[in-house]
Chain A
């Protein structure tokens, strides 16, 4: 398995534009997590899914953020409209049972 795959690796967009980040989790891992990493706040959990169903989205900062998992192989995190303070590295991670979480390489988002 290639591990958790995220795309794009880098995204630069203008304020007000819609941004979509993508994640392909590891096959058979039934939990999927979206984290955001910034210097100031470290790694923050945004939302997580179990068997494609959102379980906890209390970390989503605002209504501008939304996430979907239409099937076991794909998830998206969308920001609309984007703002400069959304600039961060966004990680997707997969987990099964009580095992460790496996992380993707991340998407570095810059909103100018």
Chain B
């Protein structure tokens, strides 16, 4: 069965420190992978996506993610976190055109000063 696991429910990072959010997926075919961010009371905004090619993808707001097929992982990273990055982050997997995205349970990021 298709699934996405985000092992960390809540992470606190100091402002200016680096960040890595973990995502593991279970999928029967080559996955399309996504990271979304959700601020309180808002919808989900796409940070970045991976379909094929270079396994290190760049996104908005200084985020990047690396696809590792051998580990079934797609971890999100940012070298220096800003207070405005505090939000909930969702990893999602999909396949062929038009299928629904399957989401992980999310990781809440808090940023301390």
Contact = CB atoms under 8 A, between A and B. Distances in A.
A106 interface: yes
A48 B105 CA distance: 20
Chain B interface size band reads 20 to 34
Contacts of B96: 98
B11 interface: no
Contacts of A33: 100-101
A78 interface: no
Contacts of A18: none
Contact of A43 (B42, B51, B90): B90
Contact of B43 (A31, A45, A95, A106): A106
Contacts, number: 47
B43 to A, nearest CB: 4
A48 to B, nearest CB: 5
Given A98-B32, A98-B51, A100-B34, A56 B100 contact: yes
Interface string A61-80: 00000000000000000000
Interface string B30-63: 0010101000001111100101000000000000
Nearest to B42: A105
Interface string B74-113: 0000000000000000100010111011111110000000
